[in-house]
Protein backbone atom coordinates (compact mmCIF):
# COMPACT_ATOMS: atom_id res chain seq x y z
CA UNK A 1 0.00 0.00 0.00
CA UNK A 2 1.20 3.51 -0.73
CA UNK A 3 0.06 5.70 2.11
CA UNK A 4 0.29 9.44 2.54
CA UNK A 5 2.49 10.81 5.30
CA UNK A 6 0.50 13.07 7.60
CA UNK A 7 3.37 13.88 9.95
CA UNK A 8 7.04 13.06 10.36
CA UNK A 9 8.67 14.97 13.15
CA UNK A 10 11.44 14.66 15.67
CA UNK A 11 10.22 14.00 19.21
CA UNK A 12 13.48 13.25 21.01
CA UNK A 13 17.17 12.75 20.27
CA UNK A 14 17.40 10.71 17.02
CA UNK A 15 13.76 9.75 17.50
CA UNK A 16 10.89 10.50 15.14
CA UNK A 17 7.16 9.98 15.00
CA UNK A 18 5.83 9.03 11.58
CA UNK A 19 2.10 9.19 11.02
CA UNK A 20 0.51 7.87 7.83
CA UNK A 21 -3.07 7.98 6.68
CA UNK A 22 -5.10 5.10 8.03
CA UNK A 23 -6.04 2.97 5.00
CA UNK A 24 -9.33 2.26 6.83
CA UNK A 25 -8.93 -1.44 6.35
CA UNK A 26 -8.95 -3.05 9.74
CA UNK A 27 -8.04 -2.90 13.39
CA UNK A 28 -4.44 -3.36 14.37
CA UNK A 29 -3.46 -5.41 17.40
CA UNK A 30 -0.94 -3.88 19.78
CA UNK A 31 2.39 -5.57 19.05
CA UNK A 32 1.78 -5.87 15.31
CA UNK A 33 4.15 -4.19 12.89
CA UNK A 34 4.42 -2.98 9.30
CA UNK A 35 7.23 -3.44 6.78
CA UNK A 36 8.23 -0.05 5.42
CA UNK A 37 10.15 0.67 2.22
CA UNK A 38 12.04 3.89 2.89
CA UNK A 39 12.45 4.75 -0.81
CA UNK A 40 11.77 3.34 -4.29
CA UNK A 41 15.39 2.35 -4.96
CA UNK A 42 17.51 -0.74 -4.41
CA UNK A 43 19.48 0.92 -1.66
CA UNK A 44 18.58 0.28 1.05
CA UNK A 45 17.09 -2.87 -0.40
CA UNK A 46 14.98 -4.30 2.38
CA UNK A 47 11.93 -2.98 4.13
CA UNK A 48 12.24 -1.87 7.77
CA UNK A 49 9.96 -3.47 10.35
CA UNK A 50 8.32 -0.79 12.52
CA UNK A 51 5.80 -1.60 15.21
CA UNK A 52 2.66 0.41 15.64
CA UNK A 53 2.83 3.07 18.36
CA UNK A 54 -0.66 4.44 17.82
CA UNK A 55 -3.71 3.89 15.65
CA UNK A 56 -6.68 6.16 15.03
CA UNK A 57 -7.20 8.34 11.96
CA UNK A 58 -3.53 7.68 11.34
CA UNK A 59 -1.19 4.73 11.80
CA UNK A 60 1.67 5.97 13.95
CA UNK A 61 5.20 4.69 14.20
CA UNK A 62 8.06 5.84 16.38
CA UNK A 63 11.53 5.07 15.10
CA UNK A 64 15.09 5.84 16.03
CA UNK A 65 17.70 6.76 13.42
CA UNK A 66 20.23 3.94 13.66
CA UNK A 67 21.42 3.57 10.07
CA UNK A 68 20.99 4.65 6.47
CA UNK A 69 17.42 3.34 6.13
CA UNK A 70 16.03 5.12 9.16
CA UNK A 71 18.03 8.25 8.25
CA UNK A 72 16.29 8.36 4.85
CA UNK A 73 12.96 7.76 6.56
CA UNK A 74 13.59 10.67 8.94
CA UNK A 75 13.87 13.03 5.95
CA UNK A 76 10.41 12.19 4.57
CA UNK A 77 8.03 15.09 4.47
CA UNK A 78 4.33 15.48 5.11
CA UNK A 79 2.38 14.84 1.91
CA UNK A 80 4.88 12.35 0.50
CA UNK A 81 3.78 8.76 0.00
CA UNK A 82 5.37 5.71 1.54
CA UNK A 83 5.12 2.02 0.61
CA UNK A 84 4.05 -0.09 3.57
CA UNK A 85 3.13 -3.75 3.89
CA UNK A 86 1.18 -5.22 6.77
CA UNK A 87 0.10 -5.42 9.47
CA UNK A 88 2.24 -8.45 10.27
CA UNK A 89 2.72 -10.65 13.27
CA UNK A 90 0.55 -11.72 16.18
CA UNK A 91 0.14 -9.19 19.00
CA UNK A 92 -0.16 -8.97 22.75
CA UNK A 93 -3.00 -10.88 24.39
CA UNK A 94 -4.76 -8.89 27.09
CA UNK A 95 -5.74 -10.81 30.21
CA UNK A 96 -8.13 -8.89 32.46
CA UNK A 97 -7.66 -11.22 35.45
CA UNK A 98 -4.03 -10.20 35.94
CA UNK A 99 -2.17 -7.25 37.35
CA UNK A 100 -0.93 -5.68 34.13
CA UNK A 101 2.59 -4.28 34.08
CA UNK A 102 4.00 -2.62 30.97
CA UNK A 103 7.76 -2.32 30.51
CA UNK A 104 9.43 -0.57 27.59
CA UNK A 105 13.07 0.23 27.02
CA UNK A 106 14.35 2.76 24.47
CA UNK A 107 12.62 2.53 21.11
CA UNK A 108 10.89 -0.60 22.47
CA UNK A 109 8.57 1.83 24.25
CA UNK A 110 6.80 2.43 20.92
CA UNK A 111 4.59 -0.70 20.75
CA UNK A 112 4.01 -0.52 24.51
CA UNK A 113 2.43 2.90 24.06
CA UNK A 114 -0.19 1.49 21.70
CA UNK A 115 -0.72 -1.44 24.07
CA UNK A 116 -1.22 0.98 26.96
CA UNK A 117 -3.76 2.95 24.94
CA UNK A 118 -5.61 -0.23 24.02
CA UNK A 119 -5.69 -1.56 27.60
CA UNK A 120 -6.86 1.72 29.09
CA UNK A 121 -9.23 2.99 26.43
CA UNK A 122 -10.56 -0.04 24.65
CA UNK A 123 -10.55 -2.59 27.48
CA UNK A 124 -11.05 0.00 30.24
CA UNK A 125 -8.51 -1.79 32.43
CA UNK A 126 -5.80 -0.45 34.67
CA UNK A 127 -2.12 -1.00 34.06
CA UNK A 128 1.13 0.30 35.46
CA UNK A 129 3.83 1.29 32.98
CA UNK A 130 7.60 1.69 33.23
CA UNK A 131 9.61 3.31 30.49
CA UNK A 132 13.39 3.37 30.45
CA UNK A 133 15.85 5.47 28.44
CA UNK A 134 19.56 6.22 28.54
CA UNK A 135 19.21 9.94 29.14
CA UNK A 136 16.58 12.68 29.35
CA UNK A 137 17.25 13.68 25.70
CA UNK A 138 15.91 10.35 24.51
CA UNK A 139 12.65 10.39 26.47
CA UNK A 140 9.63 10.68 24.16
CA UNK A 141 6.77 9.89 26.55
CA UNK A 142 5.10 11.95 29.24
CA UNK A 143 3.18 9.12 30.82
CA UNK A 144 4.04 6.22 33.13
CA UNK A 145 7.05 5.84 35.39
CA UNK A 146 10.23 7.05 33.73
CA UNK A 147 13.72 5.75 34.41
CA UNK A 148 16.97 7.02 32.91
CA UNK A 149 20.34 5.37 33.19
CA UNK A 150 22.06 8.63 34.13
CA UNK A 151 19.27 9.83 36.39
CA UNK A 152 18.69 12.95 34.29
CA UNK A 153 14.95 12.30 34.48
CA UNK A 154 12.89 10.19 36.88
CA UNK A 155 14.26 7.07 38.51
CA UNK A 156 18.02 6.57 38.15
CA UNK A 157 18.73 3.12 36.78
CA UNK A 158 17.02 0.58 34.55
CA UNK A 159 13.34 -0.19 34.18
CA UNK A 160 14.13 -3.60 35.60
CA UNK A 161 15.44 -2.02 38.82
CA UNK A 162 12.35 0.15 38.94
CA UNK A 163 9.73 -2.51 38.24
CA UNK A 164 10.90 -5.35 40.43
CA UNK A 165 9.29 -4.17 43.68
CA UNK A 166 5.91 -4.15 41.95
CA UNK A 167 6.01 -7.75 40.82
CA UNK A 168 4.17 -10.67 42.37
CA UNK A 169 2.72 -13.93 41.15
CA UNK A 170 -0.43 -12.24 39.83
CA UNK A 171 1.56 -9.93 37.59
CA UNK A 172 1.51 -10.15 33.82
CA UNK A 173 4.35 -8.21 32.23
CA UNK A 174 4.21 -6.92 28.69
CA UNK A 175 7.70 -5.99 27.55
CA UNK A 176 9.60 -4.68 24.58
CA UNK A 177 13.14 -3.36 24.59
CA UNK A 178 16.81 -4.26 24.41
CA UNK A 179 17.74 -7.90 24.84
CA UNK A 180 19.61 -7.45 28.18
CA UNK A 181 16.46 -5.87 29.62
CA UNK A 182 14.28 -8.72 28.43
CA UNK A 183 16.70 -11.34 29.75
CA UNK A 184 16.70 -9.72 33.21
CA UNK A 185 12.91 -9.54 33.17
CA UNK A 186 12.76 -13.22 32.23
CA UNK A 187 14.86 -14.07 35.30
CA UNK A 188 12.60 -11.93 37.49
CA UNK A 189 9.48 -13.60 36.12
CA UNK A 190 10.96 -16.97 36.87
CA UNK A 191 11.79 -15.85 40.41
CA UNK A 192 8.40 -14.25 41.17
CA UNK A 193 6.33 -16.77 39.26
CA UNK A 194 4.69 -14.13 37.12
CA UNK A 195 3.83 -14.25 33.44
CA UNK A 196 5.36 -12.21 30.64
CA UNK A 197 4.65 -11.56 26.98
CA UNK A 198 7.70 -10.16 25.18
CA UNK A 199 7.87 -8.50 21.82
CA UNK A 200 11.16 -9.43 20.17
CA UNK A 201 13.16 -7.57 17.59
CA UNK A 202 15.06 -9.37 14.83
CA UNK A 203 16.68 -8.64 11.52
CA UNK A 204 14.20 -9.64 8.87
CA UNK A 205 14.15 -9.54 5.11
CA UNK A 206 10.54 -10.23 4.17
CA UNK A 207 8.28 -9.88 7.22
CA UNK A 208 5.83 -12.34 5.67
CA UNK A 209 7.26 -15.64 6.88
CA UNK A 210 9.26 -16.85 3.91
CA UNK A 211 12.89 -15.75 4.26
CA UNK A 212 13.37 -17.54 7.61
CA UNK A 213 15.90 -14.89 8.53
CA UNK A 214 14.27 -13.59 11.72
CA UNK A 215 14.06 -16.80 13.75
CA UNK A 216 14.63 -17.13 17.49
CA UNK A 217 15.51 -20.28 19.44
CA UNK A 218 12.66 -21.79 21.47
CA UNK A 219 12.64 -24.32 24.32
CA UNK A 220 11.16 -26.98 22.04
CA UNK A 221 14.43 -26.89 20.07
CA UNK A 222 12.75 -25.41 17.00
CA UNK A 223 13.37 -21.98 15.63
CA UNK A 224 10.34 -19.72 15.40
CA UNK A 225 9.86 -16.77 13.08
CA UNK A 226 9.56 -13.40 14.79
CA UNK A 227 7.49 -12.10 11.87
CA UNK A 228 4.78 -14.77 11.92
CA UNK A 229 4.85 -16.72 15.21
CA UNK A 230 5.91 -13.47 16.93
CA UNK A 231 6.89 -10.76 17.44
CA UNK A 232 5.12 -11.41 20.77
CA UNK A 233 6.11 -14.59 22.58
CA UNK A 234 5.37 -16.08 25.97
CA UNK A 235 8.73 -15.64 27.74
CA UNK A 236 8.72 -19.33 28.74
CA UNK A 237 8.77 -20.28 25.07
CA UNK A 238 12.13 -18.60 24.40
CA UNK A 239 15.48 -20.29 24.92
CA UNK A 240 16.99 -17.21 26.61
CA UNK A 241 20.51 -18.54 27.14
CA UNK A 242 20.85 -18.91 23.37
CA UNK A 243 19.63 -15.41 22.63
Partner 1 sequence: MAGNVNLAVKLGNLIFKNPVLTASGTFGYGIEFSKYIDLNRLGGFIVKGLSLYEKKGNKPPRIVETPCGMLNAIGLQNVGVERFIEEKLPKLQGLNTHIIANIYGTEVEEFVRLAEILDKEPLISALEVNVSCPNVSAGGALFGKDPDMVYVLTVSIKKVTKKPVIVKLTPNVEDIAFVAQAAQSAGAEAVSLINTIAGMVIDVKSRKPFLANKTGGLSGPAIYPVGVRMVYEVYEKVKMPIIGVGGIYNANVALQYIMAGASLIEIGTANFVDPTISIQIIKGIEEFLNEEGVNSISELVGTAHG
Q: Quick one: 155 or 223, whose CB is closer to partner 1?
A: 223
Kindly give, in sequence order, each residue whose CB lies less than 8 Å from that of residue 41, ignoring residues fewer than 6 positions away.
none
Q: Quick one: 79 or 221, whose CB is closer to partner 1?
A: 221
Residue 242 engages partner 1 in binding (rule: CB under 8 A): yes
Residue 72 engages partner 1 in binding (rule: CB under 8 A): no
Residue 211 engages partner 1 in binding (rule: CB under 8 A): yes
Residue 38 engages partner 1 in binding (rule: CB under 8 A): no
Please, are residues 215 and 206 in contact by the beta-carbon 8 Å criterion?
no
Residue 45 engages partner 1 in binding (rule: CB under 8 A): yes
Considering only the stretches 45-53, 93-101, 103-111, 158-166, report the one whose residues sit in contact with partner 1 under the rule CB under 8 A: 45-53
Handedness of CA 59, 128, 97, 177 (dihedral sign): positive
Considering only the stretches 88-96, 137-145, 206-214, 230-238, report the one whose residues sit in contact with partner 1 under the rule CB under 8 A: 206-214
Considering only the stretches 112-120, 146-154, 169-177, 207-215, report the one whose residues sit in contact with partner 1 under the rule CB under 8 A: 207-215
196: Cα separation from own chain's centroid: 14
Please, are residues 82 and 76 in contact by the beta-carbon 8 Å criterion?
yes
Please, are residues 73 and 38 in contact by the beta-carbon 8 Å criterion?
yes
**Spatial separation of the C-alpha atoms in residues 194 and 41, rounded to whole Å:** 46
Residue 85 engages partner 1 in binding (rule: CB under 8 A): yes
**Candidate residues 44, 120, 125, 178; the one interacting with partner 1 per rule CB under 8 A:** 44
Residue 142 engages partner 1 in binding (rule: CB under 8 A): no
**Least CB distance to partner 1 at residue 87 (A):** 13
Q: Quick one: 169 or 203, whose CB is closer to partner 1?
A: 203
Q: Quick one: 42 or 56, whose CB is closer to partner 1?
A: 42
Query: Hey, which bits of the chain come out as E strands?
Result: 2-12, 15-21, 33-37, 48-55, 58-64, 81-88, 99-105, 128-133, 145-148, 155-156, 171-176, 195-199, 215-217, 223-225, 232-234
**14: burial class by Cβ within 10 Å (0-12, 13-18, 19+)?**
middle
Binding site for partner 1 (CB under 8 A): 37, 42-47, 85, 202-206, 208-217, 221-223, 242
Amino acid sequence: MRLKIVENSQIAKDTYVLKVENPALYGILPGQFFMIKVNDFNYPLLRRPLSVAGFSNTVDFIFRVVGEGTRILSLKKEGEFIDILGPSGNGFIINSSKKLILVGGGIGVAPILYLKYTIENRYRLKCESYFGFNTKDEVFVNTGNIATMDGSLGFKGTTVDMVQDDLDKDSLIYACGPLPMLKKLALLCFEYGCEMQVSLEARMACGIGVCLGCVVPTVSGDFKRVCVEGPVFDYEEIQWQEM
